[in-house]
Amino acid sequence: MSKTVRDFKNFVLKETGLEIHFRFTMLSESHRLFWNKLNDLGARNKNYEDVPDIDASVKLTKKEWHQLEIEFRNLSLKKLTA
């Protein structure tokens, strides 16, 4: 099963223990920019009017998921050591 942008956003929220994305974006400017990057990935689906959840309609490659996870982990480490 392919993983989607929605799956990654859910992963981020689960890993941080946050229930809504707003709290994640308030952690720091870097966290907000990272979430915006996820939103931009979701916008790859130009048929957004046809789907109830655009993020669930955009599949990530294994490489994209891996790169996003590395970036996310680095954000988390920066916040813990700040």
Task: Please report the DSSP string for 34-65 in residue order.
Answer: HHHHHHHHHTT-S-GGG-S-GGGG-EEPHHHH
Low-confidence residues in the chain, pLDDT < 70: 1, 48, 77-82
**pLDDT at residue 42, as a whole number:** 84
Domains of the chain by residue range = 3-81
**pLDDT at residue 47, as a whole number:** 72
**pLDDT at residue 77, as a whole number:** 62
- Give me the sign of the Cα torsion angle 78, 21, 10, 48: negative
Check if the beta carbon of residue 42 is closer than 8 Å to that of residue 4: no
**pLDDT at residue 2, as a whole number:** 82
